[in-house]
Amino acid sequence: MSEQKQEKPRVPDGHTRFVITKQKEPNDKGFVGYETIWEPWQKEVEYTTPKKP
Protein backbone atom coordinates (compact mmCIF):
# COMPACT_ATOMS: atom_id res chain seq x y z
CA MET A 1 0.00 0.00 0.00
CA SER A 2 1.15 3.54 -0.66
CA GLU A 3 1.70 5.90 2.23
CA GLN A 4 0.00 9.27 2.41
CA LYS A 5 2.14 12.37 2.18
CA GLN A 6 2.47 14.22 5.50
CA GLU A 7 3.33 17.46 3.74
CA LYS A 8 0.45 19.84 2.98
CA PRO A 9 0.50 21.84 -0.27
CA ARG A 10 0.98 25.61 -0.03
CA VAL A 11 -2.27 27.52 -0.59
CA PRO A 12 -2.02 30.91 -2.35
CA ASP A 13 -3.06 34.05 -0.46
CA GLY A 14 -6.73 34.91 -0.76
CA HIS A 15 -7.61 38.50 -1.68
CA THR A 16 -11.11 39.98 -1.55
CA ARG A 17 -12.34 43.55 -1.23
CA PHE A 18 -11.78 43.89 2.53
CA VAL A 19 -10.08 40.64 3.63
CA ILE A 20 -6.72 38.98 2.98
CA THR A 21 -6.12 35.41 4.17
CA LYS A 22 -2.65 33.93 4.43
CA GLN A 23 -1.65 30.38 5.25
CA LYS A 24 0.45 29.95 8.39
CA GLU A 25 3.26 27.46 8.80
CA PRO A 26 2.23 24.04 10.16
CA ASN A 27 2.83 23.49 13.87
CA ASP A 28 4.39 20.40 15.48
CA LYS A 29 1.10 18.45 15.22
CA GLY A 30 0.75 19.26 11.53
CA PHE A 31 -2.14 21.72 11.92
CA VAL A 32 -2.09 24.42 9.25
CA GLY A 33 -3.91 27.60 10.25
CA TYR A 34 -4.84 30.74 8.40
CA GLU A 35 -4.23 34.39 9.27
CA THR A 36 -7.05 36.82 8.45
CA ILE A 37 -6.21 40.48 7.84
CA TRP A 38 -9.18 42.88 7.70
CA GLU A 39 -8.80 46.15 5.85
CA PRO A 40 -10.87 49.06 7.23
CA TRP A 41 -13.78 50.10 5.03
CA GLN A 42 -14.68 53.33 6.76
CA LYS A 43 -12.68 56.32 7.97
CA GLU A 44 -12.61 57.37 11.61
CA VAL A 45 -12.85 61.13 12.05
CA GLU A 46 -12.03 62.90 15.30
CA TYR A 47 -15.16 64.24 17.00
CA THR A 48 -15.54 67.99 17.33
CA THR A 49 -18.23 69.54 19.51
CA PRO A 50 -20.82 71.51 17.59
CA LYS A 51 -21.18 75.28 17.96
CA LYS A 52 -23.65 76.53 20.56
CA PRO A 53 -26.66 78.37 19.12
Each residue's pLDDT expressed in tens, for the chain with a length of 53 residues: 567 666 667 888 899 999 999 988 888 887 778 899 999 888 889 999 999 88
In Å, what is the CA distance from 24 to each residue of 9, 14, 15, 36, 44? 12, 13, 15, 10, 31
pTM of the model: 0.55
* Domain ranges (residues) in the chain: 11-40
Cα(25)–Cα(15) distance, integer angstroms: 19
The amino acid occupying position 45 is: V
23 CB neighbour count, 10 Å cutoff: 16
User: How far does CA 2 lie from the centroid of its chain?
Assistant: 35
Cα(47)–Cα(35) distance, integer angstroms: 33
